[in-house]
Amino acid sequence: MKPFLALQENTDSLLRRFAMHPWLVLAAVCVGLSACFDPTAPRYGAYSFLLILAAGWILGVLFLCKGTPWLKGTVAVGGGLLLLVAGGRAVSSSAPLTKLLLITLVLLGGVAIFLALLKRITVQRAILLLAAAGLLLRLFYTLYTGVQVRQHDVEVFGNGIGHSGYIEFLYDNFRLPVGEETYTWQFYHPPLSHAIAALWLRLQTLLGTPWELALERIQILSLFYSGGCMLLSYRLFRELGLKGKGLLFAFVLIAFHPTFIIMGGSINNDMLVNTFMLGTLLWAVRWYKAPSCRTILPLAVCIGLGMSTKLSAALLAVPVAALFLAKLLSREGRSALGSYFKQFLAFGALCFPLGLFWTVRNFLTGGISPGAVPNLGEDSYQYVGFHSLWERFTDFSFYQFEQLYSAFGEYFGAEYLEFNPWIGLFKTAVFGEYTFRGINETVDFVAPILFTVNLLLMLAGAAAIVWYCIRAKGMQNRTIALFLGCSALLTLCSYLQFCITFPHTCTMNIRYAVMLIPIGAAALGVLSEPLGKKRTVGKVAYGLLAAAGAVFALSSTLLFAYLPA
């Protein structure tokens, strides 16, 4: 047994090394996968085989390894269902396998053998498997979704407008837009996301990649950002003290959430700014628990670079400032005022230039007001301002739920325009602003299930956030809970105010309130732990919550596995 035990120790050591550099590992995986983005290859059924490999990986590890019975059983059942779903999808497809699938088979086969030798499965390794499955699901989505399919304000490359035009402008001119150029549609946004995309595009073309293929590979960046959100969410959950079942439940909601899957294939600036905003939540919690320059400077970078991506990142600066003030007024803060002021000065010296350079530059060079956003006006076909505010916020007539997808009027086969911000939030959290009706029978069957369970989880998440803020014990935990609760409340208020100021269907979108998802998932994870320890009522509630999470993950997988016709 000694050689095997030695191998087990070596594999544990290797796993720890991967865990020490997760961003480098994620970047290497995403860059390696860029070779798989080929617009001339079949985009549809063959890639479903990726899900079979992920399911086989999970099943192989769990059946060959010894571990916690409830964990092994839960993931094994889920993996078995996933295998049946993906297997049926692949069998029904006539598209041939590609070199991508063969490479993936070799890689996952090797990883499966590696993990099987560990002889046990832990919560951390289960998280690793879920993260891998989530990344594969995101990859699967981007492979069958072209760079100009299901995008937000991207337009067509070559037209010179939209996010695609912004990327091409930076690619062609090697400079930022100035003066009248910033009035071009979407050019008013801060440039970080578009500049990274332009540099990645330049690197691709320098290496001889054909233009169309290089454009497709821009999605690799969003895939990386979306994978990074899983990593940041996990670390945030750990900072909040989640472990065991609570940690797994919260992470499942992030790994399989449709918002992160759809945005993981979008090339605008939404995915990157939400990555920085998640980083802001994480480092704000870390700073409060251990205040120092080592924790406050990453927080400054997250807020600053977030604002250099999209100005909405400044929203979290308000609860962060409140957190600073709470720390300063605490007994610890009053006894170390000098140290805290030095940290705040370092924070400002780094955050303000990063976050405000674009706004100040545009004001000085073109007289553009800070935070100016073009208004579509009343002439837009999406205008819903003719509905009263009372009607918009209180009308929950059943006909609005018969149309599961965001209603854009006759342009997308609906008889009305979505006007209720609450219902718009519920719908876009699952389907974005897109319509999947009639693609195939499986999608039509799964969509109502996914919508319903997600609606229940969103309502439960809202209640859990309130419960978390009220029931958190200890000054530190209570302050962190209030910080997250205030961040969620401010995000929701900002979304609702945006819907009022710009009364158009396109503004009623979860992409303007994404932080509600990880905060709600964290609160549900915190809530699930005491529920599982209570007697009958608590255990029943926990069982229902766990079942909802399982149905959510499975139905999300089904939707995106069968989405390509």
Q: Does pLDDT of 484 surpass 60?
A: yes
The share of the chain scoring above pLDDT 90, in percent, equals: 55
Q: Say yes or no: 101 and 115 in one domain.
A: yes
Q: Say yes or no: 362 and 469 in one domain.
A: no
Distance from C-alpha of 299 to C-alpha of 344, rounded to nearest angstrom: 11
Distance from C-alpha of 169 to C-alpha of 185, rounded to nearest angstrom: 12
* Assigned domain for 53 exists: yes
Residue 509: name the closest of 192, 268, 230, 212 by CA: 268
* Assigned domain for 463 exists: yes
Most confident of 4-18, 35-49, 162-176, 332-346: 162-176
Task: Grade residue 560 by pLDDT with cuts at 50, 70 and 90.
Answer: confident
pLDDT tens by residue, 108-156 = 444 444 444 444 556 777 787 778 778 878 887 888 888 989 999 999 9
Q: Tell how strand 120-121 and strand 66-67 pair up.
A: parallel
* Assigned domain for 259 exists: no
Q: Say yes or no: 400 and 516 in one domain.
A: yes
Q: Say yes or no: 111 and 177 in one domain.
A: no
Q: Does pLDDT of 18 surpass 90?
A: no
Residues 6+ apart with CB under 8 A from 378: 385
Rounded mean pLDDT, 542-554: 88
Q: Say yes or no: 441 and 532 in one domain.
A: yes
Q: Which of 18-27, 66-75, 470-479, 497-506 has the lowest mean pLDDT?
A: 66-75
The share of the chain scoring above pLDDT 70, in percent, equals: 79
pTM of the model: 0.89
* Assigned domain for 76 exists: yes
Q: Say yes or no: 82 and 210 in one domain.
A: no
Provide the 8-state DSSP code for 383: B
- Per-residue pLDDT, 15: 53
Q: Say yes or no: 335 and 191 in one domain.
A: no
- Per-residue pLDDT, 429: 97
* Assigned domain for 335 exists: yes
- Per-residue pLDDT, 23: 85
Q: Say yes or no: 323 and 448 in one domain.
A: no
Q: What does the block give as tokens for 3?
A: 């050689």
Q: Say yes or no: 229 and 81 in one domain.
A: yes
Q: Say yes or no: 365 and 379 in one domain.
A: no
Q: Say yes or no: 362 and 380 in one domain.
A: no
Q: Does pLDDT of 172 surpass 90?
A: yes
- Per-residue pLDDT, 11: 42
Q: Does pLDDT of 401 surpass 70?
A: yes
* Assigned domain for 520 exists: yes
Q: Does pLDDT of 87 surpass 70?
A: no
**What share of residues in the chain are helix, strand, coil (percent, to 5)?**
75, 0, 25
Task: Grade residue 50 by pLDDT with cuts at 50, 70 and 90.
Answer: low
- Per-residue pLDDT, 57: 53
Residue at a domain's end among 372, 397, 427: 372
Count how many domains the chain has.
4
Provide the 8-state DSSP code for 66: E
More confident residue, 456 or 365: 456
Residue at a domain's end among 372, 403, 427: 372
* Assigned domain for 263 exists: no
Q: Is 1 exposed, middle or buried (0-12, 13-18, 19+ CB in 10 A)?
A: exposed
Q: Say yes or no: 378 and 368 in one domain.
A: no
Rounded mean pLDDT, 396-421: 87
pLDDT tens by residue, 411-434 = 667 789 999 999 999 999 999 999
| Owning domain of residue 410 | 374-565
Residue at a domain's end among 175, 200, 216: 216
Q: Could you report how far apart the first and last alpha carbons of the chain are, in Å?
A: 51
Q: What does the block give as tokens for 502?
A: 């710009």
* Assigned domain for 44 exists: yes
Q: Does pLDDT of 9 surpass 50?
A: no
Distance from C-alpha of 8 to C-alpha of 514, rounded to nearest angstrom: 40
Arithmetic mean of pLDDT over the chain: 83
